[in-house]
Structure 1
Amino acid sequence: MGKIAFIFSGQGAQYGGMGWELYGASSAAKAVFDTADGIRPGTSGQCFEGTAETLSQTENTQPCLFCVDLAAAAALREAGVTPDMLAGFSLGELAALAFSGAVTYEDAFKLVCRRAYHMAGASRETPAAMAAVLKLDDDTVIALTKEFENVYAVNFNSPGQVVVSGEVGALEAFKARVKEKGGKTMPLKVSGGFHSPFMASASDRFAEELEDFTITPPSVPLYSNVTARPYEDDFKGLLALQIKSPVQWWRTVENMIAAGADTFVEVGPGKVLSGLVSRISDKARVFNVEDVSSLKNTVSEVQSHA
């Protein structure tokens, strides 16, 4: 068997009730939620009972997703499955950082809350939205964005799927151009134009926040969204830069496969990343952990091939 990669879900995967079963079934998962509630009271309640509207607000989305991502990974480790490498999509990278031991759970959660606060503030300064572009290659999407002053290609999810951030009016015009080219667009469940120049102020403010925290080398290779390669140093610089930079996801997955990963486990709500990995490689074994059933299935499947 090859190596196991844990991949941590990103913003947009959230849903009401997420994490509830893990909280009740795993002491390690429960500890994650309890830690969060001690810092930000009510976080667990938002995960377990929050409405779609509540969970779509960045100040709530990011702390809640962080908890469910980290709780799923902690439950999996408690059950005896450990990773050889880690990556997280956008917000998920902070959960991966905490899981790697590079920063304490408490400090990571505090950072996530500050990150969410600054990104929400930047979103209010410049209202923008995000949309996935399907059926067009990366170069075509990039070329189309250059026709507009305030539209940017920001998440390279898989071959044939690029996410763009754009000022609301410009984004509508961009969608029309995509349709002319034979492509398709799908809106994302987020409240800002993330990973773009719209987030420059949030990136700068988060860089200042990071100066108050200690980050040490991770226990296993942790891949950066910005470089698509394992962190070596400059953790703080890359974490701040990530907020306003494109997520190089499919290149990250390809690099993890080149490093020996043949099993990917998405930890956190939904199966968005699982689907992307399957499109990137038809040889990778892909699982997810978001509740008791998926936890048991993943543990059984992974351990049976160990």
Structure 2
Amino acid sequence: MVAYVFPGQGAQFSGMGKDLYENNDKAKTLFESANDILGFRITDIMFEGTAEQLKETKVTQPAVFLHSVILAETSGAFTPDMVAGHSLGEFSALVANKTLSFEDGLRLVSQRALAMQKACEINPSTMAAILGLDDEKVAAICEEIDEVVVAANYNCPGQLVISGSNKGIEIACKKMKEAGAKRALPLPVGGAFHSPLMEPAREELESAIKNTTFNNPICPVYQNVNAQPATDTEVIKSNLIAQLTAPVRWTQSVNQMVIDGATKFVECGPGKVLQGLVKKIAREVEVEGM
């Protein structure tokens, strides 16, 4: 069985999608449609913009989404048995398995990005990567701290990202190193994604998701919040709403897909981050990029 996986924020690069736009008529049509929906020419920034321009909140998430979805739509070989996406990538996965239309997916991603930016402004916060500690130990240390600090991204064994207040992350990094972490590295992000501090964004996105049409998918999506397959549209909506304040259980998702029969993982989108993570999680499966 083939699993298609979609990357999240951070996979962007200058020039992303330009070859698709120039060499595929369907891709060009979809990119131009995206420019109209967003109200600005995101393609100009994707194809020619600087790294700093690509980091703008209104650009980053839609850009990664567009590259991923359009690559999948125009590949000619897109027949997944199951899909999953890392954080933002879950929206790409839901377009790939036909739960969301391209247009609705893009609108939700744009709204998500702006809502997250507002939440970051309300609660200044950050994230940090913890390397070389067991997941359980990292989570236990987070629970000991009085500030808001939680396990946010279970990326692969020995690599977990924590999320919380600026003070909380500072305290946590010190404690992680004392506990034997190889590295406890603050990340250059603008907020505590996948933590309770994203509650204002979750509330804002909830109404948008509830007012969007979700169709019956052609295959299961393995969702971040519980690492379980879902095909029921109401379950998918509920999990997608919860995603902003809940951890990304990527390690658990990949493991569950393998248990359920996945023998090949194909990464759809910019970069190769997920290919590397999947290889560390499930060493016996075939992994490639699109």
- TM-score for the superposition, normalised by structure 2: 0.94
State the one-letter code of the partner of 1:247. V
1:133 and 2:134 equivalent? no
The residue that corresponds to 2:266 in the other structure is 265
User: How many angstroms does 1:51 deviate by?
Assistant: 2.0
Q: Distance in 2 between matches of 1:126 and 1:222?
A: 31
State the one-letter code of the partner of 2:153. N
Paired residues of 1:11 and 1:190 also in contact (CA < 8 A): no
Paired residues of 2:6 and 2:90 also in contact (CA < 8 A): yes
The residue that corresponds to 2:206 in the other structure is 207
Paired residues of 2:217 and 2:231 also in contact (CA < 8 A): no
Paired residues of 2:141 and 2:172 also in contact (CA < 8 A): yes
Q: Distance in 2 between matches of 1:136 and 1:248?
A: 16
1:101 and 2:98 equivalent? yes
Paired residues of 2:219 and 2:231 also in contact (CA < 8 A): no
User: How many angstroms does 1:81 deviate by?
Assistant: 4.2
User: How many angstroms does 1:191 deviate by?
Assistant: 2.1
User: How many angstroms does 1:32 deviate by?
Assistant: 2.9
Which structure 1 residue ranges, 5 or more long, are not aligned?
290-306
TM-superposition CA deviations, 1:244-299 (whole Å, max 9, x none): 1111111110111111111111111111111110000111111113xxxxxxxxxx
The residue that corresponds to 1:176 in the other structure is 174
The residue that corresponds to 2:255 in the other structure is 254
SS at match of 1:194: coil
User: How many angstroms does 1:240 deviate by?
Assistant: 1.0
1:66 and 2:65 equivalent? yes
The residue that corresponds to 1:244 in the other structure is 245
What does 1:141-160 align with in structure 2 at a 5 Å threshold? 141-148=138-145, 149-160=147-158
Give % identity: 42
SS at match of 2:144: coil
Query: What is the root-mean-square deviation in Å for CA atoms of aligned residues?
Result: 1.5
Evaluate the alpha carbon distance shift between residue 186 and residue 33 of structure 1 in structure 2; reply closer, same or farther with a 3 A threshold: farther
What does 1:1-306 align with in structure 2 at a 5 Å threshold? 3-40=1-38, 41-76=40-75, 78=76, 80-148=77-145, 149-183=147-181, 184-233=183-232, 234=234, 235-289=236-290
User: How many angstroms does 1:181 deviate by?
Assistant: 1.8
Q: Distance in 1 between matches of 2:186 and 2:53?
A: 18
SS at match of 1:200: helix
TM-superposition CA deviations, 1:109-136 (whole Å, max 9, x none): 1111111111111011111111221100
SS at match of 1:220: coil
SS at match of 1:243: helix
Instruction: Between 42-51 and 237-246, report the one with greater CA deviation.
Output: 42-51
SS at match of 1:146: helix
Q: Distance in 1 between matches of 2:207 and 2:219?
A: 26
TM-superposition CA deviations, 1:145-199 (whole Å, max 9, x none): 1232221111111111111112122212221222212211234453211110011
- TM-score for the superposition, normalised by structure 1: 0.89
Q: Distance in 2 between matches of 1:249 and 1:31?
A: 32
Q: Distance in 1 between matches of 2:23 and 2:265?
A: 23
Which structure 2 residue ranges, 5 or more long, are not aligned?
none
